[in-house]
């Protein structure tokens, strides 16, 4: 495929001048963000900075008022959410979005089937294709869901549900993964497990992580963007961000790690 030379080849996903207004109030204010191939990029900002709105714009849940979104150099601004997923742009949700009456096994099997282009097949049983069942086994094992794989999702513990939330996204075989506070509410014991899974994602998968916990952000990200009031305040390496006075003032200042307030 010969992608038009709009963005540099090192950029997988770009938001170009994105604006989203809700009744005149800008929730996203002229955001330009470039996600490099294989990036471990964090998006941080105080509550209400518009991080989730930005994710919703990127994934197509919301339509931008202005601006453009490009994936692999192609304009995806007008594509429906499911079409973006098919192109490898996958997200997780801050609040679990699961299929409560289905089991983790059914959930993963249908997700993998959809990913393998079998979602419209109505003649074969779910899981008849060996590649689907094998991928399910891998994911169930990787996310420690094998023991509860046949229980209805609504009966699972919060930790298991959170693991399933992330497992669903990986079942979509993302090329770009948007993680919206993946470990929010996960008990300490399972947190490391989940973080390790995220850290061991294949290098070619580009990850944008929204996270409040600064320890996680600094241990994970090689690049960071700071969002304040819907606009990009600054972008840089973790070192640059942590030494940026403006960031300290508006964001890190709220945490205990920035005693030297300018």
Partner 1 sequence: MNAERPTDAARPALLRANRWKPWEFALWLAAFAAPLADPSHAALISEIAIVALFAMSLDLVLGYAGIVSLGHAAFFGFGGYCAALFAKHVMPDPLVGLAVGMAAATVLGALCSVTILRGSDLTRLMVTLGVSLIMLELANKLDWLTGGADGLQGITIGPLLGRFEFDLGGRTAVYYSLVVLLVFAILARRLVHSPFGATLMAIRDNRLRAMAIGVPVASRLVAVYTIAAAMAGAAGALLVQTTSFASLDLFEFQRSADVLLILVVGGVGWLYGGVIGAVVFKLMQDTLSAITAQYWTFWLGLFLVLLVLVGRDRLIRPWTWLRRRGRV
Closest to partner 1 by CB, 111 or 241 = 111
In the complex with partner 1, the residue whose CB is nearer, 54 or 221, is 54
105 binds partner 1 (CB under 8 A): yes
113 burial level (CB within 10 Å; 0-12, 13-18, 19+)? buried
Angstrom distance (rounded) from CA 67 to CA 64: 7
Does 136 bind partner 1 (CB under 8 A)? Our answer is: yes
Q: How far apart are CA 181 and CA 213, in angstroms?
A: 9
Q: In the window 187-226, what residues touch partner 1 (CB under 8 A)?
A: none
Based on the shown chain and the rule CB under 8 A, indicate whether residue 82 belongs to the binding site for partner 1.
yes
Which residues have a Cβ under 8 Å from the Cβ of 40 and sit 6 or more positions away? 207, 209, 220, 221, 222, 223
Based on CB atoms, which residue is closest to partner 1, 167 or 186? 167
User: Which of 122, 127, 124, 97 minimizes the C-alpha distance to 109?
Assistant: 127
Please state the closest distance from residue 184 (CB atom) to partner 1, in A: 17
Tokens of residue 122, six digits:
């109505």
Beta partners for 213? none
> Of the ranges 8-16, 20-28, 88-96, 189-197, which one interacts with partner 1 (CB under 8 A)?
88-96
* CA pair distance 219, 173, nearest whole angstrom: 24
Q: How far is the CB of 149 from partner 1 (least distance, A)?
A: 7
Residues that bind partner 1 (CB under 8 A): 59, 61, 80-82, 85-86, 90-91, 93, 97-102, 105-107, 109-111, 113-115, 118-128, 130, 133-134, 136-137, 140-141, 146-147, 149-150, 168, 171-172
């Amino acid at each position: 495929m010969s992608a038009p030379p709009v963005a540099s080849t090192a950029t997988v996903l770009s938001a170009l001048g994105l604006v989203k207004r809700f009744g005149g109030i800008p929730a996203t204010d002229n955001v330009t963000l470039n996600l490099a191939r294989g990036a471990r990029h964090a998006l941080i900002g105080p509550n209400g900075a518009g991080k989730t709105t930005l994710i919703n714009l990127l994934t197509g849940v919301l339509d931008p008022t202005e601006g453009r979104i490009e994936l692999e150099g192609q304009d995806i601004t007008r594509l429906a959410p499911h079409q973006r997923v098919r192109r490898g742009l996958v997200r997780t949700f801050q609040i679990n979005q699961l299929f409560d009456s289905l089991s983790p096994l059914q959930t993963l099997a249908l997700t993998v089937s959809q990913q393998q282009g079998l979602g419209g097949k109505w003649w074969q049983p779910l899981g008849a294709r060996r590649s689907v069942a094998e991928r399910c086994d891998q994911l169930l094992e990787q996310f420690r869901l094998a023991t509860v794989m046949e229980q209805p999702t609504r009966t699972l513990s919060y930790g298991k549900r959170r693991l399933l939330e992330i497992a669903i996204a990986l079942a979509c075989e993302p090329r770009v993964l948007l993680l919206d506070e993946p470990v929010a509410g996960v008990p300490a014991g399972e947190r490391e497990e989940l973080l390790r899974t995220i850290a061991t994602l294949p290098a070619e998968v580009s990850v944008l992580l929204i996270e409040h916990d600064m320890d996680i952000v600094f241990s994970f990200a090689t690049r960071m963007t700071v969002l304040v009031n819907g606009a990009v305040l600054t972008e840089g390496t973790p070192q640059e961000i942590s030494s940026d006075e403006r960031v300290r003032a508006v964001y890190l200042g709220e945490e205990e790690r920035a005693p030297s307030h300018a």
